[in-house]
Amino acid sequence: MHDLTIRLDNQPGTLASMGEALGAAGVSVEGGGMFVVDGKAVAHFLFHDGHAARAALEAAGFHVADCRAPLVQRLDQGTPGQLGEIARLMADAGVNIEIMYSDHDNQLVLVVDDPEAGSVVSEAWTRRRSA
C-alpha cells in the first residue's frame, strides 16, 4: 500500500479530473481524502500500487508531492479509545503521526515520520490486542 500526497487546484472539477485520470489508467483508490486549508487543496489517497497511481496522475498533469508506505491497522469498531491508545503508543515511542485516515475497509491508515519505529509500535499493538 502507498499513500500519495497530491497537490490539487482548488477549483470545481479538479477532483473529478483526478478521479477520471485514475479510472482511465485502471487504478483504484483504496481510501483517503482531500482538504482545502488556506486556499490550498491537498489530497492523501491510498493505493495498492502507488507507483502506477503516481504515473497515471503525473501523466495527466497532476503534481504528486510524495509517495509513502503507511501503517495500516484493523480496528475493532465496537471498542472505544483505540485511536487514542495507538496514538499514545506512537507518541511515547517518539513517532509523530503526520497523516491519519480510514480506508474503504474501515482500517486505520497512519503515515508517520519514522516508519521503522512506527512499524515496531504498530506490530506490538497488534500482538497485544490479539493476545
Within this chain, do residues 6 and 64 fall inside the same structural domain, yes or no? yes
Within this chain, do residues 47 and 98 fall inside the same structural domain, yes or no? no
Within this chain, do residues 63 and 8 fall inside the same structural domain, yes or no? yes
**Residue range 42-58, pLDDT digits in tens:** 999 999 999 999 999 99
Within this chain, do residues 60 and 85 fall inside the same structural domain, yes or no? no
pLDDT > 70: percent of the chain = 100
Within this chain, do residues 107 and 53 fall inside the same structural domain, yes or no? no
Band of residue 65 on the pLDDT scale cut at 50, 70, 90: very high
Within this chain, do residues 11 and 64 fall inside the same structural domain, yes or no? yes
Q: Which domain holds residue 61?
A: 2-68
Query: In this structure, what CATH number is given to the domain that contains residue 17?
Result: 3.30.70.260
**Spatial separation of the C-alpha atoms in residues 19 and 117, rounded to whole Å:** 33
Instruction: Give how many domains the chain has, as a whole number.
Output: 2
Question: Which pLDDT value is given to residue 3?
Answer: 97
Within this chain, do residues 87 and 125 fall inside the same structural domain, yes or no? yes
Query: How far are the Cα atoms of 21, 44, 116 from residue 48, in angstroms, in the given order?
Result: 16, 14, 20
Looking at 15, 47, 68, the residue that finishes a domain is 68
Question: Which pLDDT value is given to residue 98?
Answer: 96
| pTM of the full structure | 0.89
Within this chain, do residues 19 and 63 fall inside the same structural domain, yes or no? yes
CB under 8 Å to 43, separation ≥6 — which residues? 4, 5, 6, 8, 15, 18, 32, 33, 34, 35
**Spatial separation of the C-alpha atoms in residues 92 and 7, rounded to whole Å:** 31
Query: Which of 12, 14, 3, 5 lies closest to 61, judged by CA?
Result: 14
Query: In this structure, what CATH number is given to the domain that contains residue 101?
Result: 3.30.70
Query: Which of 54, 40, 41, 43 lies closest to 2, judged by CA?
Result: 54
pLDDT at 29 over 80: yes
pLDDT at 131 over 80: no
Within this chain, do residues 55 and 11 fall inside the same structural domain, yes or no? yes
The DSSP string of 75-90 is --TTSTTHHHHHHHHH
Question: Which pLDDT value is given to residue 72?
Answer: 94
DSSP-based three-state secondary structure for 15: helix
